[in-house]
Chains A and B, each alone.
Chain A
Amino acid sequence: MSWLRTPKILTSSSFRFAMLTVGVIWLSTALVLVAVYMQLDRAIWRSIDASLDLQTTELLQQAKQTPSLSTEELLAAYNAQLNSSQAIASSGADSMQQMHNSPAMHAMHQAMGLAQPPARFLAEHHRMLAVNGALQVARSVELPNGEAVELSQNVAYLTDLQTSLWQSLLFGLAITLGIALLGSLVLTQRSLRRIHQINRSCQAIMAGDLAHRIPYQKALDARADAKPQLGALDDYDQMAWHINQMLDAIHDAMAKVRQVSDNIAHDLKSPLARIRVKLESAYEQQPSIEVEDSLQELDRVLAMTKSLLGIARIESKTRAGFAPVSVRELLQDVQEMYGPVFDEQGIEFSVEPNDQTLAGDKHLLMQALTNLLDNAHNHTPTHGSVSLLATAERGVDGSAGVQWQIQDSGPGIDKAEFTKVFERFYRQDEARQSGGFGLGLSLVQSIIQLHGGTVELSNNAGLRVDIWLPAGV
């Protein structure tokens, strides 16, 4: 069974809830049984007391009616009259009385349980006796002739009753516990199976299968627009239905965003493309500085449009097109590509790749890295240094990941600007002249977020950028 394979069942909240229910049921069963036991105990001793009362009255009556009889004769007559097993009256019985309060008697009392009369009962001139090993309860009665006799009742059967009571009590509790445990396991397994199903579906959707929906236990109306009778579904199907509805809505919204950005791309770029070709042919016919400047300016606008649309597209993207990316290969390409660039500037550039693999889009990751390296390149003085270091690093939730650390020896940036630099079109005053659009870091952030990672800035003898990405394919 599946739950046997998952030790997680112990930590699952439904199992814990079921165990709590088991505990409550079990405890209440135990309480009921204890109450029954106590009630039974009281009833038994009350009836013993009542029967001794009756016997006392009868004995005294008999003594009154026939005062001529001696005590022995009276007792013999009385005993003959009674069922001898119920009550025995004896005179004196000194030897037995001596046993009262002896350690042997105490030991017997302790072992007796149900056969142990309540303290109130013993206080009323009752005594416990053991006659030939059989337990009896006795009461002394003073006869009219002044002699004292003892009326005693055999309670040895109580010990047997006690044993069988305990046995059925324990048996009952064990059965209850068993049933409750089995029931909770079955229930937990059922709910866990549904939860796992929902989890798996969510993972499949996150992995890029956007058309995936959570299956229902109960067959639903196949028509997508038909709202099912939610009341007729169980909780999990209701939850699945709502999640599926939510996914549909998100899917629609994402499709709209993509459609809009495609439309913008087309409707904005077409006129720009026409302007560009007109400028280009004008320049071909009669080269002039004005037209050349205009072309350059236009190319800047085009690049900015492209970056903006690129960010919008990345933000509406899914991980559907992701493939395994080797960190070593990617970083070696970066080193090979940027080594000479830094070299020309007299900047020392070092790259330390590692052997992790992550699921991603290598073009986008390259774009993110080059944006950061371009920044580092622009802000590091000659003879400075830039390093790119990859290390295996666990994420905040303990999942495997890779950390890229890009460290330059430039002036760094003000701590107050750390969040601002990720905003679109944000540029520091000094960088405003350097010709960027203020989109570079926004793009980096959207790329890293698409990959499920994080970007952090810090100042450490220059600017340090820490990128964390989840590893594994």
Chain B
Amino acid sequence: MKLLVVEDDPTLADFIAKGLRQAGFVVDLCVDGKDALFRVATESYDLMIMDRMLPQVDGLTIIRTLRASANQTPVLILSALDDVDQRVEGLAAGADDYLTKPFAFKELLARVQALLRRQAPVNGLGTQLQVADVLLDLAKQKVWVDGLAVAMQPREIRLLEYLMRHEGQLISRTMLLENVWEYHFDPQTNIVDVHISRLRQKLDKNRSGSLIQTVRGAGYVLAAHT
């Protein structure tokens, strides 16, 4: 997997590149918008991480140029501009995700992986998801654990669906808030934790350990582990 990081702050750029390389990605670095436009025109990337305020050509212009030339490479905006309006503006320009600075690297990595996974086809027929003994039927909105139907609220099903679609990946609390609840705000209490713990109770009845692992300070991973 080859990624392009467009970031004018050298410290941040090096840190991101180093982290991504450790995670097994091939990373190209650009420090200004003009260079970035040249790179995307000449090479093909699996994903781009883009700052908004860049020298010469700003991030949104680059994304709009890409999309205008039918380039559908996923783009993650990484910007200090954190207002909801600015996020909406970024997504409207054609970006696929929006992460605000300062950020935790684990959060960035989780989002990068989620975006790359979105490109890959979902396992199974598309209407059913299965991880370990948990089966989710999206059409019927029903869940079975070990063959037994489990009653769930619509939002719990969406939460489970999101985790199952990103099986084995780290999912941050903010990602869950944005994608499952579709709200952009900062709750002071950890409402996501409470909902995850409810979901766990329903999934882990006859299980030692949990299907959903907590990664301290970062988020959750749903994984079948034997």
Q: Is A7 at the interface (CB under 8 A from chain B)? A: no
Within the complex, what minimum Cβ distance (angstroms) separates A384 from chain B?
A: 15
Q: Is A30 at the interface (CB under 8 A from chain B)? A: no
Per-residue interface assignment for chain A, residues 258 to 284, with 1 indicating a CB less than 8 Å from any chain B CB and 0 otherwise: 000010011001101110111011000
Within the complex, what minimum Cβ distance (angstroms) separates A367 from chain B?
A: 4
Asked if residues A278 and B11 are in contact (CB atoms below 8 Å), the reply is yes
Asked if residues A340 and B186 are in contact (CB atoms below 8 Å), the reply is no
Asked if residues A374 and B153 are in contact (CB atoms below 8 Å), the reply is no
Asked if residues A337 and B181 are in contact (CB atoms below 8 Å), the reply is yes
Q: Is B43 at the interface (CB under 8 A from chain A)? A: no
Q: Taking chain A's interface residues, is the majority helix, strand, or loop, or is none over half, making it mixed?
A: helix
Asked if residues B81 and A274 are in contact (CB atoms below 8 Å), the reply is no
Within the complex, what minimum Cβ distance (angstroms) separates A284 from chain B?
A: 8
Task: Chain A residues near B2: list those with CB within 8 A.
Answer: none
Q: Is A210 at the interface (CB under 8 A from chain B)? A: no
Contacts A273-B102, A281-B15, A303-B186 given; does A266 touch B191 at CB 8 Å: no
Contacts of A332-348 to chain B: CB distance below 8 A: 333, 336-338, 340-341, 344
Q: CA of A205 to CA of B152 in the docked complex: distance in angstroms?
A: 47
Contacts of B1-55 to chain A: CB distance below 8 A: 9, 11-12, 15-16, 18-19, 53
Q: Is B88 at the interface (CB under 8 A from chain A)? A: yes
Task: Chain A residues near B186: list those with CB within 8 A.
Answer: 303, 306-307, 367
Q: How large is the interface on B (under 10, 10 to 19, 20 to 34, 35 or more residues)?
A: 35 or more
Binding site for B on A (CB under 8 A): 262, 265-266, 269-270, 272-274, 276-278, 280-281, 302-303, 306-307, 309-310, 313, 317, 321, 333, 336-338, 340-341, 344, 361-364, 366-367, 370-371, 374, 377-378, 436, 440
Contacts A274-B12, A313-B83, A337-B181 given; does A321 touch B191 at CB 8 Å: no
Give the residue name and chain of the A residue nearest to B188 (CB).
A374
Asked if residues A277 and B15 are in contact (CB atoms below 8 Å), the reply is yes
Task: Chain B residues near A269: list those with CB within 8 A.
Answer: 80, 101-102
Task: Chain A residues near B197: list those with CB within 8 A.
Answer: 344
Contacts A270-B80, A273-B102, A337-B181 given; does A371 touch B191 at CB 8 Å: no
Q: CA of A278 to CA of B12 in the docked complex: distance in angstroms?
A: 9
Give the residue name and chain of the A residue nearest to B83 (CB).
A313
Task: Chain A residues near B104: list those with CB within 8 A.
Answer: 276, 280
Q: CA of A338 to CA of B191 in the docked complex: distance in angstroms?
A: 7
Q: Can you list 17 pairs linking A and B with CB atoms under 8 Å apart?
A: A265-B81, A269-B101, A269-B102, A273-B103, A277-B11, A277-B12, A278-B11, A303-B186, A307-B186, A313-B83, A317-B85, A333-B183, A337-B191, A340-B194, A341-B191, A367-B185, A370-B191
Asked if residues A270 and B187 are in contact (CB atoms below 8 Å), the reply is no
Per-residue interface assignment for chain B, residues 188 to 216, with 1 indicating a CB less than 8 Å from any chain A CB and 0 otherwise: 11010011011000000000000000000
Asked if residues A362 and B183 are in contact (CB atoms below 8 Å), the reply is yes
Q: CA of A363 to CA of B87 in the docked complex: distance in angstroms?
A: 12
Asked if residues A341 and B101 are in contact (CB atoms below 8 Å), the reply is no
Give the residue name and chain of the A residue nearest to B216 (CB).
A292
Task: Chain B residues near A303: list those with CB within 8 A.
Answer: 186
Contacts A272-B102, A341-B189, A374-B189 given; does A363 touch B194 at CB 8 Å: no
Task: Chain B residues near A374: list those with CB within 8 A.
Answer: 187-189
Asked if residues B53 and A276 are in contact (CB atoms below 8 Å), the reply is no
Q: Is B224 at the interface (CB under 8 A from chain A)? A: no
Give the residue name and chain of the B residue nearest to A435 (CB).
B188
Contacts of B113-139 to chain A: CB distance below 8 A: none
Asked if residues B53 and A266 are in contact (CB atoms below 8 Å), the reply is yes
Q: Is B82 at the interface (CB under 8 A from chain A)? A: yes
Q: A274-B12, A366-B185 are in contact. List 14 more A-B contacts (CB 8 A).
A: A266-B80, A273-B80, A274-B9, A277-B11, A277-B16, A306-B186, A336-B155, A341-B189, A341-B194, A344-B194, A363-B84, A370-B187, A370-B191, A374-B188
Within the complex, what minimum Cβ distance (angstroms) separates A199 from chain B?
A: 28
Asked if residues A262 and B81 are in contact (CB atoms below 8 Å), the reply is yes
Q: Is B67 at the interface (CB under 8 A from chain A)? A: no
Task: Chain A residues near B12: list those with CB within 8 A.
Answer: 270, 273-274, 277
Q: CA of A307 to CA of B197 in the docked complex: distance in angstroms?
A: 28
Give the residue name and chain of the B residue nearest to A305 (CB).
B102
Task: Chain B residues near A337: list those with CB within 8 A.
Answer: 181, 191, 195
Contacts A266-B53, A303-B186 given; does A273 touch B191 at CB 8 Å: no
Task: Chain A residues near B11: list those with CB within 8 A.
Answer: 274, 277-278
**Option from A272, A274, A364, A371 in Cβ contact (under 8 Å) with B84:** A364
Task: Chain B residues near A336: list those with CB within 8 A.
Answer: 153, 155
Asked if residues A302 and B181 are in contact (CB atoms below 8 Å), the reply is no
Task: Chain B residues near A280: list those with CB within 8 A.
Answer: 15, 104-105
